[in-house]
Amino acid sequence: MKIALTIAGSDPTGGAGLQVDLKVFKSFDVYGLSVPSVLTAQNTDGVYDIYELPPLFFSQQIKNLLSDISPDAVKTGMLYSPEIIKITAQKVKEYSLGNLVVDPVTVSSTGVSLIKNDALDTMKDYLFPLAKVITPNIYEATIFTGINIDGTEDMKVAAMKLKDLGPEAVIITGGHLEEVAIDLLWDGKEFLALETERIGGEYHGTGCVFSSSITACLALGYDVRESFVKAKDFVSGAIKTAISIGKGMKILNI
């Protein structure tokens, strides 16, 4: 059985973070490993507190896990601080981890910051160059490039600029043009834009589900393009059947 690892924050609702990543891995029949980077106190209404694990303990979790098990693909989600990002990058190198998907989580669907300000540059400098693919949404692509994205042409320019930071490929999610939702892949050779019907409303955890789907597909041996197509399909299906489990945002049906 193929194995995928998520290094991400804990979301007790199970709608985002490492909990949803594990569920996605299972949906693709991939065995899931998880290392929490931070814990959050949240419900479907929002994120109320963040507890950063002591860096040394975070590092011990990865060391003990990877000295025993070799995952076929790895995903990073909410890493939050420069220290946690640097340790993650160092472990990726130490254990020669391939198929690394970096989801540069910056803000929750309810607008709470999930990364410290001084960690943005660390993410760019330490982690992006090690990634097979990075999966920023439009907002994150704007933060990391300074480009104001309004339409597919801007997405292309931002994707090229992000690729120059070192990842093998870039997928920008969440573009929209009237009635369609557009996600865009740039692998340095060709663009691939995938369009789906735009579904109204806000859903918790969409970015996590997308990036963990890509990770599962890479673990299964698909290339980035194939993984992108399969992930988009999986996310669209899970959005269409989203469920309301609390008083706040809907959660994808996984």
Interacting residues toward ligand PXL by CB under 6 A: 8-9, 11, 16-17, 40, 42, 47, 77-78, 105, 108-109, 114, 205, 207-208
In angstroms, give the least distance from the CB of 245 to ligand PXL: 14
Integer angstrom CA distances of residue 173 from 39, 43, 138, 148, 231: 25, 24, 6, 15, 11
Amino acid (1-letter code) at residue 103 = D
H helical segments located in 29-126: 55-66, 82-94, 119-122
Q: Which residue of the chain is nearest ligand PXL when measured via CB?
A: 9
Q: Which is nearer to ligand PXL, 187 or 232 (CB)?
A: 232
In angstroms, give the least distance from the CB of 42 to ligand PXL: 6
In angstroms, give the least distance from the CB of 236 to ligand PXL: 17
Q: Which is nearer to ligand PXL, 122 or 173 (CB)?
A: 173
The single residue listed with the structure tokens 């929490």 is 36
Q: Which is nearer to ligand PXL, 46 or 98 (CB)?
A: 46
Q: Provide the token pair at 138.
A: 């439009």
Q: Which is nearer to ligand PXL, 182 or 249 (CB)?
A: 249
Q: Provide the token pair at 161.
A: 């600029």
Beta pairing, strands 169-177 & 180-186: antiparallel
Q: Which is nearer to ligand PXL, 23 or 187 (CB)?
A: 23
In angstroms, give the least distance from the CB of 129 to ligand PXL: 22
Integer angstrom CA distances of residue 193 from 20, 151, 154, 186: 26, 12, 13, 9
In angstroms, give the least distance from the CB of 88 to ligand PXL: 14
